[in-house]
């Protein structure tokens, strides 16, 4: 692969750091932007050799420069944040700023993080063409990002802007997300301590759980192969239950812990999410490499120190 130069925003966060380190390992020159005020943590970038801008994209932009592409991962991802102004500033206005930065610096390709939260409690399998119906301001902010990308591309038709609607992502680098870390990670921590894993009754709710290494692959496929502005699902296309997670973790930890089923206190709770992945494959060639079983096996090996990330 020819050496290229990339900018990764939110590059100290969960997904951004995985993208930045993968690109660097492939021999590319990578610059990271992160305000270190939300989910970004310097420990996610230990060993990273590139430059890091410690700035908030809503307030400031990096020095003018040319990049072969931008991976925009910077955002508030905590779906429980109810401060609408803060969410819209950090998720929409910062995105607007980075698109203007790209246009001004003649950067023709931007791949950005959208979200399955745009679908809300929509029909399954979830298709990019179906109506959006966000249930929180986070999902709403991503709907507006998708709208903004389409309009910006129409006004700047030499740019290709590709949004990836992430489903339930888990994997190395999420350790600093606190309560927003994946259920895979939270259940691993409970079971590692010998506790029965706690899930809502009766663990049959289903999600499209996708390993972060596949999400990195989806981003690289979009950057390399995407030929037009569009919004695409980023997932596995297979829904699995919370009971399935516990079964996989028991297998990898050598335990036999039964679930501790608790009442669900939330009036709104999606019983199933599942992505239709046909458009992503058509537009970028992306297909996932990991099943839930192989992903959890890889993740637990990393968490247990049996292999490097």
Q: Could you tell me which residues are beta bridge partners of residue 164? A: 113, 232
DSSP, residue by residue, 109-153: EEEEEEEGGGTSS--SSB-TTSPP--SSHHHHHHHHHHHHHHHHH
**Res 202: pLDDT:** 86
Residue 165 has phi, psi (to 5 degrees) of: -85, 95
**217 part of the active site:** no
Q: How far is the C-alpha of 64 from the C-alpha of 59, rounded, in Å?
A: 15
5-172+209-237+271-289: CATH class: alpha beta
**β 240-241/206-207 pair status:** antiparallel
The most distant pair of C-alpha atoms in the chain lies apart, rounded to whole Å, by 57
Active-site hit among 5, 127, 177, 281: 177
Give the rounded distance of the alpha carbon of 145 from its chain centre.
15
Active-site hit among 53, 58, 138, 166: 138
Tens place of pLDDT for every residue, the chain, 309 residues? 589 999 999 999 999 999 999 999 999 999 999 999 988 999 999 999 999 999 999 999 999 999 999 999 999 998 888 899 999 999 999 999 999 999 999 999 999 999 999 999 899 999 999 999 998 999 999 999 999 999 999 999 999 999 999 999 999 999 999 888 999 999 999 999 999 999 988 888 999 999 999 999 999 999 999 999 999 999 999 999 999 999 999 999 999 999 998 988 776 667 789 999 999 999 999 999 999 999 999 999 999 998 887
CB 114 within 8 A of CB 146: yes
80 CB-contact burial (10 Å; exposed 0-12 / middle 13-18 / buried 19+): exposed
**Res 269: pLDDT:** 67
**Res 142: pLDDT:** 98
Query: What tokens does 12 get?
Result: 């100290």
**Res 145: pLDDT:** 98
**Res 278: pLDDT:** 98
Q: Which run of H or of E encompasses 72?
A: strand 69-72
CB 21 within 8 A of CB 14: no
Determine the angle formed by the axes of helices 137-155 and 94-104, rounding to 10 degrees.
Answer: 20
Q: Could you tell me which residues are beta bridge partners of residue 51? A: 31
Quickly count: other Cβ atoms within 10 Å of residue 284's Cβ: 25
Query: What tokens does 187 get?
Result: 């259940």
**Res 1: pLDDT:** 56
**151 part of the active site:** no
């Amino acid at each position: 692969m020819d050496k290229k130069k990339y900018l990764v925003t939110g590059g100290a966060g969960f997904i951004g750091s995985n993208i930045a380190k993968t690109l660097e390992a492939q021999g590319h020159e990578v610059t990271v932007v992160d305000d270190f005020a939300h989910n970004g943590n310097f420990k996610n970038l230990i060993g990273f050799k590139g430059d890091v801008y410690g700035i908030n994209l809503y307030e400031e932009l990096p020095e003018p420069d040319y990049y072969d592409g931008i991976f925009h991962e910077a955002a508030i991802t905590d779906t429980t944040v109810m401060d609408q102004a803060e969410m819209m500033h950090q998720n929409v206005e910062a995105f607007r700023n980075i698109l203007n930065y790209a246009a001004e610096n003649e950067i023709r390709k931007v791949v950005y993080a959208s979200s399955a939260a745009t679908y809300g409690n929509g029909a399954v399998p979830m298709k990019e063409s179906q109506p959006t119906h966000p249930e929180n301001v986070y999902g709403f902010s991503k709907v507006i990002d998708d709208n903004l990308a389409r309009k910006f591309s129409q006004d700047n038709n030499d740019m290709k802007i590709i949004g990836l609607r992430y489903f339930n992502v888990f994997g190395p680098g999420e350790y600093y997300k606190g309560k927003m870390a994946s259920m895979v990670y939270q259940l691993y921590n409970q079971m590692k301590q010998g506790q029965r894993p706690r899930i809502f009754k009766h663990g049959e709710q289903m999600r499209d759980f996708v390993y972060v290494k596949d999400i990195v692959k989806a981003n690289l496929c979009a950057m390399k192969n995407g030929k037009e502005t569009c919004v695409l699902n980023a997932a596995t296309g297979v829904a699995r239950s919370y009971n399935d997670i516990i079964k996989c973790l028991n297998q990898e930890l050598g335990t036999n812990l039964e679930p501790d089923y608790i009442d669900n206190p939330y009036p709104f709770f999606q019983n199933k999410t599942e992505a239709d992945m046909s458009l992503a494959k058509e537009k970028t060639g992306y297909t996932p490499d990991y099943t839930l079983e192989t992903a959890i096996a890889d993740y637990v090996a990393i968490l247990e120190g049996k292999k490097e990330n």
